[in-house]
Amino acid sequence: MISILVVDDHALIRKGLKMLLEDTPDIRITGEADTGMQAISMVRAHRFDLVLLDLSLPDKPGIDVLRQLKAEHPDIKVIVLSMHPEDQYGMRTLKAGALGYLNKQSAPEMLVGAVRQVVGGKRYISEAMAEQLLNNMVGTSQELLHQSLSNREYQTLCLMASGKSLSEIADGMSLSPKTVSVYRGRMLEKMGFKNNAEAIHYAISNHLVGTP
């Protein structure tokens, strides 16, 4: 029996996943968490074969939850299940330790296949991500500027584009304004922007507003 922990702050999503997997005899959702810290505590206390993790959580960015889970439990298997398309977070989550990435709009059978594949010790890569990887390898597509950013730098960019002030960003990330200012400076330098306005325009043009 494959035991799964679902981490999502929307009860309807958790219920829908449970109903979906009920028809699969060897897969069961045995735990549910609606915050990042709850998920971390549950993994410390119980054994799960797989974690289905959303990126947009109310207390802690999902990618930070992923990094902490992997730091504490290096062998844990995680599939990120998110509303954001693969080109925004797919590669970033794989680099952070996820073994698969699925958009919530994917067909149900893709989820079951991804679960089996990851529990079996393999990575799950969708056709869209496979094409992106291939394009990067052969150099037929230009890498988006934001893919070079660290997780904190990327968060700073997204929150800036959402209209947050420096102090609001600092509060949301549980950091000091000075530290956030450093991340902002690094972000502008890496992306080659002269000011905040250019960075915000880029984020809006690439549909990054509202991502974690």
Report d(CA 175, CA 193) in Å as an integer: 23
Contact 99, 123 (CB under 8 A): yes
Q: Encoding tokens for residue 130?
A: 């496979």
Are residue 46 and residue 120 in the same domain, yes or no? yes
Does 185 lie in the same domain as 111? no
DSSP state of 35: S
Q: Report d(CA 130, CA 182) in Å as an integer.
A: 34
With respect to residue 68, please indicate whether it lies within any of the assigned structural domains: yes
Q: Which of 86, 182, 174 is nearest to 133 (CA)?
A: 86
Query: Can you give the pLDDT at residue 207?
Result: 78
Select from 137, 167, 182 the last residue of a domain: 137
Q: Give the pLDDT of residue 69.
A: 96
pLDDT digits (tens, 9 = 90+) for 2-50: 999 999 999 999 999 988 888 888 999 999 999 999 999 999 999 999 9
Q: Specify if 20 maps to a domain.
A: yes
pLDDT of residue 136: 57
| End-to-end Cα spacing for the chain | 33
Global pTM value: 0.69
End-of-domain residue from the set 97, 115, 137: 137
Site of tokens 């679902």: 6
The pLDDT value given to residue 142: 43
Q: Are residues 82 and 50 in the same domain?
A: yes
| Judgement on whether residues 15 and 120 belong to the same structural domain of the protein | yes
- Residue by residue, pLDDT tens for the chain (212 residues) are 999 999 999 999 999 998 888 888 899 999 999 999 999 999 999 999 999 999 989 998 899 999 999 999 999 999 999 888 776 778 788 888 999 998 888 777 889 999 999 999 999 987 766 766 666 555 444 456 787 788 899 989 999 988 999 999 999 888 999 999 999 999 999 888 989 998 998 888 877 875 55
Distance CA 106, CA 83 (A): 10
């250019």: which residue's tokens? 198
Residue 157 lies in a domain: yes
Report the alpha-carbon angle 98-136-150, nearest 5: 50
- Which of 137, 165, 184 is a domain's end point? 137
Overall domain count for the chain: 2
Residue 45: partners with Cβ closer than 8 Å, 6 or more residues away: none
Question: Within a domain: residue 184?
Answer: yes
Q: Which stretches within 32-126 are classed as H helix?
A: 36-45, 62-72, 86-96, 108-119
| Cα 183–chain centre separation | 19
Q: 128 with 149, same domain?
A: no
Q: What is the pLDDT of residue 167?
A: 92
